[in-house]
Each structure stands twice: as structure tokens, then as C-alpha cells.
Chain A
Amino acid sequence: MGLNGRWRFFARSLAVRPRFAVGYGLVALAVLLGLFAPLIAPYSPIEANSRAFLQPPGPAHWFGTDSVGMDIFSRAIYAPRIDLTIAVLGTLLSACVGTTLGALVGFYSAGRGPRAWLCNSVMRAADVLQAFPVFVFAIALVAVLGQSIQTVVLAIAFVNMPIYLRLMRSQVQGIRSMRYVEAAQVAGVADHVILRRHIVPNAIAPVLAQLSVNVGWGILLTAALSFVGAGVRAPTPEWGSMIASGFQNVATGQWWPSLFPGLSLAVTVFGFSLVGASIEAFSDPVRRQDLAAAMERRAARSAGRQLVKAGI
């Protein structure tokens, strides 16, 4: 289709599926806020100002202040820096390791012999990993490695790795039996070249769709870890820990320290899910056809309207 054509397709599909537009918009908003927070935020996100503690939302503090007087609006827009960074890094790490392993396992798991046995063991190990209660495993990892951004990233990566492993493996197993792969093998092309040039590009589509959704999960897991106190350190602005520190205050009638971070969190994850749905739509040929058909209908309608306006 060519690069230009692809972009046009993308843009027109956004018009046809407004929800995708919303998704990309939300993600873009989160990224922009993360990047430009220092320029936008009215207050410092880590400055405790006890004179202004627990103020309700008002002109001075749009989202109010928390129990040590930090401005919630500023913290809420600084939070994407941490949450997004952790979630994206964790997801990318798990995807890289998982897809590589998955491709190898999927490719070599045929037949008997030591290689197949190794693949089997990897899958059994993944089984064991997945049988773990996810949340408890993540907390345990953070407890062992210490509380820091790096360890939360690692925890997310560990927990999500089996997903990519399985996904890639089943994709590769499907493609491995294709004719063109057989042809390449017969022609004597090296294994890793086959993997790189033929198999992976064709198998990658569902992985890409999964990536975006996973970033959303990663944000949720980070928030959950911070909520129980195993995530990032205070006073780093992070949605989950903001919800946690505001929880006690709801009992005494101050709802704003927990509500706004939760809302921001939900909206951002929602955006990522929408983006994931859009990628899924683009990569699935059947749904791509649906989209194309919808775009044709839309073009036809607007052409028709123009004709009507022109008085024909």
C-alpha cells in the first residue's frame, strides 16, 4: 500500500471509528502531560505545604490538596511520567524476552530430541510461573529486590512474559508449517534468517495489539502495588499511591485525594485499551476489510451530500 497510503488509511479509519480517535487522543494526552508536566503544573508535585492541607477543589487548587498539602492536580499530571515509564518499559521488556523465547520455542518444538525437550521444559516453566497468583508474585519480587522504579519494571516484565511467550509460540507454530517456510528450509537458508525474515514479521501482529493493552495492565499493576505500599517510594507522584494515601481521608469526608487520581488512571488505561483494539482491527485482514467498507460508505455518503448541496 505504501507508507503514504497507510497513513491515509489510518486517518480515515479514525474518522469512521471515533472511539479509536478517542483512544489515540487519550494516549497522546497522557504522553504529552508526562513530557510537559513541569511546564503545565502550577505547583511542585513533591512539595508538602502543611498550611494548605486537605483543601477541597477550588480556584487555588483545582483538584484540592492532600493530607500533607501537596497539590493533587500537579501530582496527577506528573504521575504519567512514572506510571507510563514503568508500564511501557515493563511491557517492552516482557515482550522482547517473551517473543524471542516464544519464537524459538515455537520453531524448534517439533519432533523429538534434546531441542524439543528443552522447549517443553520452557513451556512447563512458564506454566509454573503462570500458576502463581500474579499480585502476590509481584509484591514478593519487589520485596526481594527492594522498592524502586527498576524493580517494579522487572515485576511487570516477569508477570507478563508468559503471555508473549505463549502468543508468539502459537503464532510461530502456525506459520512454521507454511509452504514458504518449507521452501526456505529446503533452499538451505539458515534458521535464524528464516525466523527473522519470514516468520516473525508475519507472526507479530497479535503481539503488537497485545502491547498496548499490556501497557494499560502495567499501569494498573503499578497502581495496585503502590496501593498496598509495594510500589514506588513516597513522595513520587503515582496514581496508585495517591489513591492509597487518600483512602483514609474519605472516612472524614475528603473524597478528592482518591477520586481524581483514580479517574485519571482509569481514563488513561481506557485510552490504551482503545488503541489496542484499533491495532487489532488494523492487523486482522477481515476487520481491515470491514473498516475499508465503512470508509467507502462514508465517502459515498459525503459525496452524495455534496451532490445534493450542488443542487443536482
Chain B
Amino acid sequence: MITWIGAATARIADEIGGIVVMTWQVLRAVIPPRVDTRELWKNLYKMGNRSVPIIVLTAFFAGGLMTLQTGPFVKRLGATAIAGWGAGYAILREIGPILIALMFSGRVGANNTAELATMTVTEQLDGLRALSIDPVQFLVVPRVIAMMIMLVALTVIGDLVALNGASVVGHWMLDIDWATMFHSFADNLKPHDFMHGIYKSFWFGGAIAVSSCYFGVTVKGGAVGVGRAVNASVVASAVSIMLLDFFITYLST
């Protein structure tokens, strides 16, 4: 039992330490900004454009769910004018950024870990080092920048789609007027709420990027190791999304 707790603590400390070291290396590599632009554009396209369909679908259903959850309560009170308040507020500040970040971590973060891990186990990273190209500089930095930019962009799209999903569900399932819903959004939601979610998603993007790259670069063993690395990367991303969400919300108010 004690050995087990000790081993688990040592492993978690090892992972957190590795992620911090990776963050430091990324920061040091961007201080005079030297980014491989071709790699950056490739990653922006691959991570951003290719994720739009899944993000849009998720956001639509998430928005609909928020109306489904708050709608009956609002209707019982007979106050459909505040229907957009609960749903919109929850979408913009919490559910939108968190759900989109979770899907992004599954779609892009996991994919990124798998790709880097495959490169590591096939010794392509050692090949880069032999050519005196720093793998962090060449592979990790463009990915981190691309993920931070693209998660913000996808959250903007996703928030708007989720608000539309909320009004579609409100209209078809709860008989709330389109106009009532949109007036209710406009009256109760402030730009500040929207910016709060966007600000969070920027940091979520960084956390997903750094942990997915860390687990990709440090993988050991062949195919089994790659699977395990992807698993560890999505778990670390999910935990850091939740922790960051709490601390950003707590500190920024």
C-alpha cells in the first residue's frame, strides 16, 4: 500500500516536473521569436480547419442541452424573457469553453501525441538531433502556438453555434420565440462574459499543447507505448483544463 502510494506520487511528480520543464523550453525558444513558419501554417490548418465539423456539432448539442436543462424551470416560472440568461451565461462562461477544450484535446491533442510519439519511437527525433535541429524548436513550438490560436478561434465559432443551438432547441422543444430568445441573450449577456470564456480557452489551449507534446516526446516502447502515451496525454489535459478553469475563474473576479 505504502509502496503503491509512493510510486504513484513519484510518477505524478515526474510528469508534472517534465511538463514544467517542457513549458520552460518552449518559452525559452520563443523569446526571440524564431518559428518555422511552414510548420506553423501546416499545423494551423490541420488543427483548426479539420476540427471545425466536430466542434460545431458538439457546440450545437451542448447549447441545446443548456436550454433543455434551464428551460423547464424558466417556463414553470413563466419568465421566458430570462430563458437566454441562464443558458447563455452557462454557455459563454463555462460549458462552451470546457466542452470545446475537451473535444479539442481529444481530436487535436491526442492526435498530436500519437504523431509525435510515432516520430519518437521510430527515432525520427534522434535523427533531427543528429542534424543539430532542436526538436522542441522545430516540432513543439509551432504546435503550441497553433493550438493556442486555434482553440481560441474554435471557441469563438463554438460559442456562437452553441447560442444558436440553444435558441433552436428553445424554439422547437419548448416553444420559446426566436425573438424572445435573442432579446434575452442581448439583454443579459455582456461582452465581458464572452471575453471571460475566450480568455480561459487561450490557457486551455496552452495546457493541452504542452502536455500532449510532453507525452509524445517522452514515449518509450513501440506500439504499446504510443497507446499509453495518448491515454496519459488526454487524462493530463482533462485534469489541467479543470484545474485551470477553477483558478482562472477564482482569480479573475
**A and B: interacting chains:** no
